[in-house]
């Protein structure tokens, strides 16, 4: 019995050594010419669907020549980012013309020994012309109307904005609006500039999903010490302030800031200076209390995709001043 066990152990060791030796040889040859499943895959962007049969064949032949094992097709746009000219629109995703191009791709990939995979959506929204509206991706839209009560209210509610003729009612919500106390000072917020789709009102709407964006869409057009942006709070009566809360849009928020105060909106005095980090969370800054009718936040620099180099603009979700 013991001899049998000893013999089996020797056989096991011998097999292990043989397999290890074979793997070493396989590794050398595999490094020189790796199998298809071990090769690189291209993230193959069909920019705005703008592809042709000739371009598909050329790209695949170049992938094969450079040692790629295949590609992932991603039909999406994004060409106009960073101020670039938008690519012409090609066939709609999954339309008959698009499917013919896809079949041509598979035939050519098979001819060249390449493996294809597909991002089964156009851009980041699942869908295609074969998907009916009831089954397509949707978003919630809303409208609002303010009513002074107590009263019996009977009226047709304003329909929210929608697209492609598709709209379905989901719910109606009624709630009491918060009324300002009589001793709460009124305030008006203005900005040095704003993009139409991201106005300064977004700073004080209590919604962290909306945000103010200053003018500028080209590198170097954002705030700087030579060309600062500013946000101004004008109160109806002199107000004492000792803290500032900022919720920046992550990656695009302010960096160097200076808070100024004024009694007339013309002559300003310094209150505090801040260097803000690039973070997702709200930032609360405190300083010695200062009383004034106008407070101006001067923005001397900003992040752009997390970098301080040549920002295009500055973006803030929420901004609040507080007092003792």
Q: Which of 135, 161, 178 is the last residue of a domain?
A: 135
User: Does residue 28 sit within a domain?
Assistant: no
How would you class 1 by CB atoms within 10 Å of its CB: exposed for 0-12, middle for 13-18, buried for 19 or more?
exposed
User: Same domain for 201 and 312?
Assistant: yes
Spatial separation of the C-alpha atoms in residues 219 and 236, rounded to whole Å:
38
User: Does residue 208 sit within a domain?
Assistant: yes
pLDDT, tens only, 30-42: 788 888 888 999 9
Ranges under pLDDT 70 in the chain: 1-25, 82-83, 125-128, 178-185
- Domain with 49, as residue range(s), is 36-135
Q: Which of 135, 163, 179 is the last residue of a domain?
A: 135
Query: H or E element: which one contains 72?
Result: strand 70-76
User: Does residue 8 sit within a domain?
Assistant: no
User: How many domains does the chain fold into?
Assistant: 2
User: Does residue 48 sit within a domain?
Assistant: yes
How high is the pLDDT of residue 266?
A: 93
User: Does residue 63 sit within a domain?
Assistant: yes
Q: Other CB atoms closer than 10 Å to residue 270's CB: what's the count?
A: 11
Closest among 272, 279, 278, 267 to 257, alpha carbons compared? 272
pLDDT, tens only, 20-31: 434 444 777 878
- Strand ranges of the sheet holding 115-122, from the earlier edge strand across to the other edge: 41-47, 70-76, 115-122
How would you class 191 by CB atoms within 10 Å of its CB: exposed for 0-12, middle for 13-18, buried for 19 or more?
buried
User: Does residue 179 sit within a domain?
Assistant: no
Kindly report the CATH number assigned to the domain that includes residue 96: 3.30.750
Kindly report the CATH number assigned to the domain that includes residue 218: 2.60.120.260
How high is the pLDDT of residue 83?
A: 65
How high is the pLDDT of residue 145?
A: 83
User: Does residue 145 sit within a domain?
Assistant: no
b/e burial code for range 139-157 (CB count within 10 A of at least 16 → b): eeeeeeeeeeeeeeeeeee
């Amino acid at each position: 019995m013991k001899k049998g066990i000893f013999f089996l152990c020797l056989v096991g060791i011998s097999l292990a050594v043989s397999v290890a030796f074979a793997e070493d040889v396989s590794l050398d040859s595999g490094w020189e010419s790796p199998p298809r499943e071990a090769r690189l895959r291209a993230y193959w962007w069909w920019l705005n669907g703008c592809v042709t049969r000739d371009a598909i064949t050329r790209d695949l032949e170049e992938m094969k020549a450079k040692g790629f094992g295949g590609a992932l097709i991603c039909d999406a746009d994004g060409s106009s980012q960073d101020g670039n000219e938008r690519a012409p629109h090609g066939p709609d995703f999954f339309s008959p013309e698009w499917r013919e191009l896809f079949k041509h791709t598979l035939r050519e990939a098979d001819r060249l020994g390449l493996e294809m995979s597909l991002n089964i959506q156009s851009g980041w929204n699942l869908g295609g012309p074969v998907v009916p509206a009831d089954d397509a991706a949707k978003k919630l839209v809303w409208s609002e109307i303010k009513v002074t009560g107590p009263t019996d209210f009977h009226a047709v509610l304003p329909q929210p904005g929608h697209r492609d003729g598709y709209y379905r009612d989901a719910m109606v919500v009624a709630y009491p609006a918060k009324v300002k106390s009589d001793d709460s000072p009124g305030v008006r917020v203005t900005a040095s500039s704003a993009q139409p789709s991201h106005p300064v009102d977004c700073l004080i709407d209590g919604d962290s999903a909306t945000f103010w964006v200053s003018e500028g869409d080209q590198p170097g057009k954002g705030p700087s010490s030579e060309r600062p942006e500013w946000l101004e709070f004008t109160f109806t009566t002199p107000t004492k302030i000792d803290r500032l809360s900022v919720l920046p849009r992550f990656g695009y928020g302010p960096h160097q800031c200076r808070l100024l105060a004024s009694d007339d909106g013309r002559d300003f005095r310094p209150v505090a200076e801040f260097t803000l980090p690039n973070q997702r969370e709200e930032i609360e800054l405190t300083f010695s209390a200062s009383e004034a009718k106008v407070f101006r936040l001067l923005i001397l620099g900003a992040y752009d995709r997390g970098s301080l180099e040549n920002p295009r603009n500055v973006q803030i979700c929420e901004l609040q001043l507080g007092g003792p």
